Amino acid sequence: MRMVDLIEKKRDGEALTKEEIQFIIQGYTNGEIPDYQMSAFAMAVFFQGMTAEETAELTMAMVQSGETIDLSKIDGIKVDKHSTGGVGDTTTLVLGPLVASVGVPVAKMSGRGLGHTGGTIDKLESVPGFHVEISNEEFIELVNKNKLAVVGQSGNLTPADKKLYALRDVTATVNSIPLIASSIMSKKIAAGADAIVLDVKTGAGAFMKELDDAKALAKAMVEIGTRVGRQTMAIISDMSQPLGYAIGNALEVKEAIDTLKGEGPEDLQELCLVLGSHMVYLAKKASSLEEARHMLERAIEDGSALEAFKRFLAAQGGDASVVDDPSKLPQAKYVIDLEAKEDGYVAEIVADEIGTAAMLLGAGRATKESTIDLAVGLVLRKKVGDAVKKGESLVTIYSNREQIDDVKQKLYENIRLSSERVQAPTLIYDKIS
Ligand code: URA
Ligand code: CA
């Protein structure tokens, strides 16, 4: 087989066989196929697409390019959840303890990553003492005991995806549905998920700005899961404005605690109940989605979800008393309100730009080397559709620097008020299974 022939075949719109796809991925991973040929191939896929079968083969070839995590020693069906990007997306912090509290095992491998805020691990590290440096044996033991543990990414998972994603980033080939779908799904499958619940975001703060694109991506991922024997379903949810109120690391931990108590933002709570119900159902802990939802609502009401969070934090060295006293989380030096300049209704809170404002404060990493300030970030006081009076707070800014004119300006530019009444956006657009 020669790479040049396979590039040509894809360029001309033909479908590749399983063997051909494996040849490409193996050759690229071990360095026999150079970046320039892989770039041409990625561009051919960008224009010609891939069939569902090809996309599934590509996914499995990437899974097989490296190590995979064996979760077979964990009792029960392991359901993983994946949200595609987003701003202030606190769902993982809530869903872990929430579904664990009703007996669904959550074996979470998580990362730090780049972005507006840190990844799940960064957020959790704002709890004093909490750490993810646990051995694989300890990880499995903890999931069996507490139904929830989080471990840092270790080992050589999906090296083909790492290499290809970096290449796509510099060759204008990121935005291809088969390439995105296989990239995300390969990582979930390598991490040992039996079943997968996807939360595909749409809107300004999402990868897929348009609803139709989000749906197409969700369909492609569900199709991959189904073809490779992992039950998969997707929810399409709104990311035109940030989810919940808090955007920042310790601030999101506090928001997760509030939500686990039933006192969190309505949109975050609702999305967590919907995603969580599907996780519980796929894990076969409930015989219907309605039953699953009731179980989760009860776990919030009777405090068992919050208890699960405390148990989980303590098991990984964290000071669980932060749950009852969030003032023990890192605190910013300056707390400054951004006041509305006029009366009106909030018409738009541009999610990605608000995320950038949080990053300007130091809540996220611009490069791999940047350090994160866990204490800083934003808490929205108003969301789209809310009425606001001149002088009322739109956002509370948590900062460790006193001079924040740049942040204020970015926020004013991206929180648009209207004199007319505005409808709150739909939270959940669709479900694909
Ligand atoms: N996220 C991924 O992990 N891969 C992609 O290709 C796009 C987003
Ligand atoms: Ca949030």
The reported pLDDT for the residue numbered 209 is 92
How far apart are the C-alpha atoms of 92 and 83, rounded to whole Å? 8
The whole-model pTM stands at: 0.95
pLDDT digits (tens, 9 = 90+) for 390-409: 999 999 999 999 999 999 99
How far apart are the C-alpha atoms of 296 and 2, rounded to whole Å? 54
82 a catalytic residue: yes
What residues are in contact with ligand 1 under a 6 Å CB criterion?
165, 174, 179-180, 183-184, 207
The reported pLDDT for the residue numbered 109 is 87
* pLDDT class of 340 with cuts at 50, 70, 90: very high
| CA 184 / ligand 1 centre spacing (Å) | 5
Whether 85 shows a pLDDT value over 90: the answer reads: no
**The ligand 1 atom nearest the CA atom of 168:** 6
The average pLDDT across 79-94 equals 91
Q: Do residues 383 and 268 make contact, with C-beta atoms less than 8 angstroms apart?
A: no
Q: Which residues pair with 343 in a beta bridge?
A: none
**Residue 83 parent element (H or E):** strand 79-83
The ligand placed nearest to the CA atom of residue 117 is 2
Phi/psi at 40 (5° precision): -65, -40
Quick one: CA dihedral 201, 205, 209, 211, positive or negative? Answer: positive
Residue nearest atom 8 of ligand 1, based on CA coordinates: 180
| CA 183 / ligand 1 centre spacing (Å) | 5
9 a catalytic residue: no
The reported pLDDT for the residue numbered 110 is 84
Q: Report H helices in 264-404.
A: 266-282, 289-301, 304-315, 351-361
In 3D space, the residue among 161, 154, 152, 149 whose CA is nearest the CA of residue 110 turns out to be 152
How far apart are the C-alpha atoms of 121 and 296, rounded to whole Å? 24
Residue nearest atom 1 of ligand 1, based on CA coordinates: 184
How far apart are the C-alpha atoms of 194 and 69, rounded to whole Å? 11
Which residues touch 52 (CB under 8 Å, ≥6 apart)?
220, 223, 224, 227
Q: Of 81, 82, 112, 147, which is the active-site residue?
A: 82
Whether 114 shows a pLDDT value over 80: the answer reads: no
> CB atoms < 10 A from the CB of 207, how many?
18
Rg (alpha carbons) of the chain, rounded to whole number: 22
Q: Of 161, 258, 352, 373, which is the active-site residue?
A: 161
**The ligand 1 atom nearest the CA atom of 165:** 6
Averaged pLDDT score across all residues of the chain: 96
How far apart are the C-alpha atoms of 303 and 301, rounded to whole Å? 6
183 a catalytic residue: yes
Whether 113 shows a pLDDT value over 80: the answer reads: no
Whether 380 shows a pLDDT value over 90: the answer reads: yes
Residue nearest atom 7 of ligand 1, based on CA coordinates: 180
pLDDT digits (tens, 9 = 90+) for 237-282: 999 999 999 999 999 999 999 999 999 999 999 999 999 999 999 9
How far apart are the C-alpha atoms of 378 and 355, rounded to whole Å? 9
Q: Which residue has the tokens 């148990």?
A: 311
CB-facing half-sphere around the CA of 256: CA atoms within 13 A: 32
Pocket test for ligand 1, best of 183, 200, 224 (most atoms within 8 A of CB): 183
Using H for helix, E for strand and C for coil, what is the string for 23-54?
HHHHHHHCCCCCHHHHHHHHHHHHHHCCCHHH
Q: Do residues 400 and 332 make contact, with C-beta atoms less than 8 angstroms apart?
A: yes
Q: Do residues 54 and 227 make contact, with C-beta atoms less than 8 angstroms apart?
A: no
How far apart are the C-alpha atoms of 40 and 26, rounded to whole Å? 17
* Orientation angle between helical segments 304-315 and 249-260, nearest 10 degrees: 140
The reported pLDDT for the residue numbered 155 is 78
| CA 243 / ligand 2 centre spacing (Å) | 5
Structure-derived torsion over alpha carbons of residues 43, 44, 49, 53, reported in degrees to the nearest 10: -110
pLDDT digits (tens, 9 = 90+) for 9-50: 999 999 999 999 999 999 999 999 999 999 999 999 999 999
How far apart are the C-alpha atoms of 104 and 122, rounded to whole Å? 24
Question: How is residue 66 written in tokens?
Answer: 């490296």
Strand 195-202 with 79-83, pairing: parallel
In 3D space, the residue among 429, 245, 254, 416 whose CA is nearest the CA of residue 331 turns out to be 254
